[in-house]
Amino acid sequence: MASPVHRLDARAKTLVTLAFIVIVVSFPLYEVSALTPFLLFPIVLLSVGRIPMLYILKKILIAAPFALVIGIFNPFLDREPVASIGSFTVSGGWLSFVSIMLRFLLTVGAALTLIACTGMNNLGASLAQFGVPRVFVVQLLFLYRYLFVISDEGGKMFRSVELRSEKGRPLPLRVYGSLIGTLLNRSMNRAERVYRAMVARGFEGEIRVLLPSALRWSDGVFVLGWLTFFSVARTWNLAEAVGLVLTRFLPGIPQ
């Protein structure tokens, strides 16, 4: 990978992303404006890494329903007015709802950014270096490798079912059961073949993950820089400060 973000050590990126998520989630319930500076982190990484923003946004939107379903109750249950803009009163519920959705955007965006800028193999290696059990790391890498193979197989089966049945109607349980059973059977056969192939190539029960070389100074700068930014943005409301400066110097902007 060519971009500077991809060249960074996976451990540095994992560490910063985890810190980011914990800090974002640690804000009080009604906080909205102080969260906005945190958008800088995923945006900078995605931009420097030249990852298409729309692609990430689409993935975030697909996952939005769960946070939406739980968060949408807040405006109805918490109607206490907490703030007003001009003549428009904002209730606590709406504020916390907006805050929840913003947190969702930030945390999910950061996770997707991490994987997009790191790649699964490097992430697995960094997890192993952090002390995650080998068996689990290998399981993750294996799952990732065969995810698309087995999904393809499933996709083929389901397409053939679709061709033979009424369009758009979900299957009856019996058909579904035998279909999934067949898929399971095929997957396990595949696992046996893979296992034999691995044994033939000298597999002894453990996969060796290639661990990348030592940390460089740029990784240190990356970690320190972002952690400093996060702690500054956590301590002071940067967005409000910007707004304050703006409203001071430009009196009479719209109410």
Contact set for another protein, span 192-251 (CB under 8 A): 192, 194-195, 198, 203-207, 237-244, 246-248, 251
Which stretch, 186-194, 210-218, 219-227, contacts another protein (CB under 8 A)?
A: 186-194
> Distance (Å, rounded) from C-alpha 115 to C-alpha 121?
10
Judged by CB, which is closer to another protein: 69, or 214? 69
Judged by CB, which is closer to another protein: 203, or 211? 203
Angle between helix 10-25 and 120-129 (nearest 10) = 80
**Contact 53/154 with Cβ under 8 angstroms?**
no
122-181 residues in contact with another protein (CB under 8 A) are: 123, 132-136, 138-147, 149-151, 153-155, 158, 161, 169-181
Residue 74: is it exposed, middle or buried by C-beta count within 10 angstroms (0-12/13-18/19+)?
A: buried
Residue 8 touches another protein, criterion: CB under 8 A: no
| Least spacing, CB of residue 229 vs another protein, in Å | 12
**Contact 179/155 with Cβ under 8 angstroms?**
no
- Token pair for 50: 């030249």
Which stretch, 92-100, 215-223, 224-232, contacts another protein (CB under 8 A)?
A: 92-100
Judged by CB, which is closer to another protein: 28, or 213? 28
51-90 residues in contact with another protein (CB under 8 A) are: 53, 59-60, 62-63, 66-67, 70-71, 73-74, 77-87, 89-90
Q: Which residue has the tokens 């499933």?
A: 154
| Least spacing, CB of residue 82 vs another protein, in Å | 4
Judged by CB, which is closer to another protein: 208, or 213? 208
Sign of CA dihedral 126, 127, 131, 135: negative
**Contact 96/30 with Cβ under 8 angstroms?**
yes
Which stretch, 24-32, 211-219, 222-230, contacts another protein (CB under 8 A)?
A: 24-32
Judged by CB, which is closer to another protein: 85, or 163? 85
**Contact 103/32 with Cβ under 8 angstroms?**
no
| Least spacing, CB of residue 214 vs another protein, in Å | 25
Which phi and psi angles does 223 have, rounded to 5°? -65, -50
| Least spacing, CB of residue 75 vs another protein, in Å | 9
> Rounded to whole angstroms, what are the CA distances from 216 to 39, 223, 225?
26, 11, 14
Residue 107: is it exposed, middle or buried by C-beta count within 10 angstroms (0-12/13-18/19+)?
A: buried
Judged by CB, which is closer to another protein: 210, or 253? 253
Which stretch, 191-199, 209-217, 224-232, contacts another protein (CB under 8 A)?
A: 191-199
Please give the single-letter amino acid code of residue 187: S
| Least spacing, CB of residue 97 vs another protein, in Å | 9
